[in-house]
Amino acid sequence: MNDGSRHSIRAAGVLALTAAGMLVVAPVSAQQAPAQAAEARRAAPVRALGVDTTGFDRRVRPQDDFERFVNGRWAERTPIPPDRSSWGSFNELEAASEAALREIVEEAARAGAAPGTELQKIGDLYASFMDTATIESLGLKPLEGELARVAALKTAAELPGALAHLARLGVVGPFVAIVGPDQKDSRTNIVLLSQAGLGMPDRDYYLRPEPKLEATRKAYATYVDRLLELAGAADPAGAAQRIVALETMLAEKQWPRAKNRDRDATYNKMPVVRLAELAPSFDWAAYLKAAGLGGATEVVVRQPDYIQALDGVFSATPLSTWKEYLTYRLLSAYADDLPSAFVRANYEFRGRTLAGLQEMRPRWKRGVDLVEDALGEAVGKLYVERHFKPEAKARMDALVKNLLAAFRVGIDSLEWMSPATKAQAREKLAKFTVKIGYPDRWRGYSALEIRRGDLVGNVMRANAFEYDDMVARLGKPVDRSRWGMTPQTVNAYYNAVNNEIVFPAAILQPPFFDVDADDATNYGAIGAVIGHEISHGFDDQGRKSDGDGNLRDWWTPADARAFEARATKLAEQYSSYVPIDTLHINGWLTLGENIGDLSGLAVAYRAWRMSLGGKEPPVIGGFTGDQRFFLGWAQVWRTKMRDEALRNQLLTNPHSPGMYRAFVPLTNLDAFYKAFDVKPGDKMYRPPEDRVKIW
C-alpha cells in the first residue's frame, strides 16, 4: 500500500549490482570564495564526458527531440529482452545485479551453513524454490490445509476471522489494515485502513471501455477459471464469473489513484467503534482481534466512503461467493510457488497479458526475487560487504550537502513566496535526515524459520514474519532507523513522515554516477536524483508536512494558492502528452514525481553552478558544461516499453514514462534553452509564459 508518504525516483523494485566508486565532492556554499573553487579546478584533471554518444541519433536536432537525440540510436539497436516488459538504464543495471545476487545466493545454497544463521536461511530458501522435483511431487498438498480452512466456513460471521488469518499469510481481501506512522503524530504508530482486493492492477482495468482493457478482462476471467480448475473446483468457470463480478463491484466503489495521493483526503482518523457505523454488516472488532490489532482504539481510514460502500457489498454477496473469492486469492498469491501448471497460468496472465512478456523469467531470477523479498537486508549485508566501499558514504554525503545548500538558495530566491512561508520551508529543509548506502542497524531474522524442501511453507512463514513484525509496532514509537528499501535497490526515496531522503548503495554508479565522468554530467544524473528526492519534501503532497513529518499546513493562504497555480499548470502540461492509443499521461497522478523531476533538475543545476565559483567549465567532447548537465539527465531515462507495460504504467504508476521524463522537464528550464540554443519554431520550445518554475 502506498500511504502517500513515500516517494521514489522510479517505481519500486528490488535491484542489485556491483557499486562503483564515488567522485569526491567538497561541500560548496553560496558564499564560498570563487578563488578557492578556481584553485580546486586547476588541481583537478579534466574528466571524461560520461555520456554514451554512440546512443545519439544525430539525424534529429536536440532542439526538436532531445530524448531521441540522446537515446535514439540506443533505442534502435537495443531490443527489450523477451522476459522483460521494459528496458533502459535501470534495467541494464538490474541485469548485472541479478548476476551478482545469483552468485551470493547460490554460494549460500552450497555452503551448508549452521542452522538458524542468515546464510542458512538465504541458501535454503533459494534451494527450496529451485527444487522443482519436490514442488511437482507435492502438487497442491502444501496449500490443502488453507484451502480446507476456507472451504469449511459455515456462516458470514466467520468471514472477519478468515480475512484476518489470510492477511497474515499475504493474501489480501477487499481491504487492508496495516500499522504505520500517524501522519499528524509522526512518532506514533497507528492502524491504517485502505481499499484493496482487486486481482487486476487498478480499478480502471475493470471500468474503462477501451477494447484493449476489455480483452484484458476476458483474459483475467480465463486466468481465474484456470487456477480454480487446477485446484479441482466444482464449477471453475461459473466461480470465475462470480469472482470477477465481485471485484468489479469493489472497483466501482474505489477511489482513483490520483485521489489516493491526496494526504488530506486520505487522513480520516476516528475511534475504532466508528467502523461499525460505517459498515455495520462486518464485525470489525472480531477482525481486528483476529488480526492482532485488538489493542487499537483509533484508526485512520483512508477512503471512508469505500468502507461505507463495502457494507453493501458484504450484505449482497453470498458466503459461497466469498469462499470462491478467497480460494482464488489464496491460489493466486502462491501460484509461482506451486507446480508448473500454476506457474504457467500465472505467467500467461500477469506476465504475457499484463506486461507483454514473450518468455517467462528464468527460474533462478525468480528465486533471487523471492530471497530479496523475504530476506532483503540479510542479502543486503552480504552485498555491502562485497560491493560497497565505506568511503562512498562520505562522498555521497558531501554531494547531498551541496544539493541541500542549493535548495536553500532556491527558497530564498523565490519571487512568489512570502518571507513567512520561506522561513517555514527553510526550517523543514534544515530538519531533513539523510540516509546513504545501508542501514546503521540491520534487521534481524532470528524469528523466521526456513526449511529446504518446503517452499510454500517458507513463503507462508516469511509472510507471517513480516506481518507479525508490523503488528508488533502498534503502541510503540516509530523506529526511524528502519529503511524502506534494501541497499541493493537501484532507487532512492523521500519519506514524508520521517522527513528523510534515502539513497541505497546500488544507485551510486553509472549512469547515475560515474567516478571518471565530468562533474556536469554527474550533477545532471545523480545530482538531479538527489534534487528529486529533496523536492519531494516540497511537492504538492510533501509540502503538507512539516520538518518533524507531521501533516500540518505551514503555508500562508496566498502562498498556497500561488503554489497550486503552478502545480496545476504542470499537471495540465503533462496531461497533454499521449504516449499510446488514447491514453494520456495523468498529470494529477504523476504530479508529485513531475515536480520532483522539474525541481530536482533546477536545484542540481544550481548546485553545479555554485560549485564552479563563477567560472565556466571546459568543453569536453564538443559539449559545453551546461550541455553535459542535460545530457547526463536524459541518458538516465533511456527507456523502451512494451505496449502492455506502457498502458499499465499510464493507468497505475505515479511516475511518467521514462522517455517523457527525459525531456518534458527540460522544456521548463531557461538554462536548457540557452545550452542548446532552443528558439521559437523548434519543437522543444515552450514560450516563457508557459514555463513552470516551482522551486
Q: Find out whether 53 and 618 touch, Cβ atoms under 8 Å.
A: no
pLDDT of 139 > 90? The answer is: yes
pLDDT digits (tens, 9 = 90+) for 619-646: 999 999 999 999 999 999 999 999 999 9
Give CA–CA dist 489/533, Å, rounded: 15
Q: Are 490 and 96 in contact (CB under 8 A)?
A: no
Query: Binning pLDDT at 50, 70 and 90, where does residue 285 land?
Result: very high
Q: For residue range 662-688, list pLDDT tens digits in order.
A: 999 999 999 999 999 999 999 999 999
CATH 1.10.1380.10 residue spans of the chain: 144-176+193-337
Percent residues over pLDDT 90 in the chain: 87
pLDDT > 70 fraction of the chain, expressed in percent and rounded: 94
**Structurally, what CATH architecture does the domain formed by 144-176+193-337 represent?**
Orthogonal Bundle (1.10)
CB atoms near residue 616 (< 10 Å): 9
The dihedral region occupied by 413, where left means phi > 0, alpha psi between -120 and 50, and beta the remainder, is alpha
Residue 355: the pLDDT is 97
Q: Residue 586 and residue 590: Cα distance in Å, rounded?
A: 6
Distance CA 371, CA 4 (A): 27
Residues 6+ apart with CB under 8 A from 137: none
11: pLDDT strictly greater than 70: no
From 141-145, 198-202, 322-326, 516-520, the region with the lowest mean pLDDT: 516-520
pLDDT score of 247 more than 60: yes
Arithmetic mean of pLDDT, 225-249: 98
Least confidently predicted of 66-70, 392-396, 597-601: 392-396
Topology (CATH) of 40-78+388-443+483-690: Collagenase (Catalytic Domain) (3.40.390)
Gyration radius from the chain CA atoms = 26
Q: What is the reported pLDDT for 208?
A: 96
| Start-end of CATH 3.40.390.10 domains in the chain | 40-78+388-443+483-690
As a three-state string, the secondary structure of 415-428 is CCCCHHHHHHHHHH
pLDDT at 37: 39
Measured CA distances, 529 to 31, 237, 365, 598, 652 (Å): 24, 48, 27, 11, 22
Assess whether pLDDT exceeds 60 at residue 21.
no
Per-residue confidence (pLDDT) for residue 6, from 0 to 100: 66
Cβ 678 vs Cβ 63: under 8 Å: yes
Closest by CA to 517, choosing from 629, 676, 658, 634, is: 629
User: Taking the model in full, what pTM does it have?
Assistant: 0.92
Q: Is the pLDDT of residue 396 over 60?
A: yes
- State yes or no: pLDDT of 84 exceeds 90: yes
- 2 vs 148 pLDDT, higher one: 148
Half-sphere exposure of 267 (CA within 13 A, CB side): 19
In the predicted model, what is the mean pLDDT of residues 429-444? Answer: 96
> What pLDDT, on a 0 to 100 scale, did the predictor assign at position 41?
43
**Spatial distance between the Cα atoms of 439 and 393, rounded to a whole number of angstroms:** 11
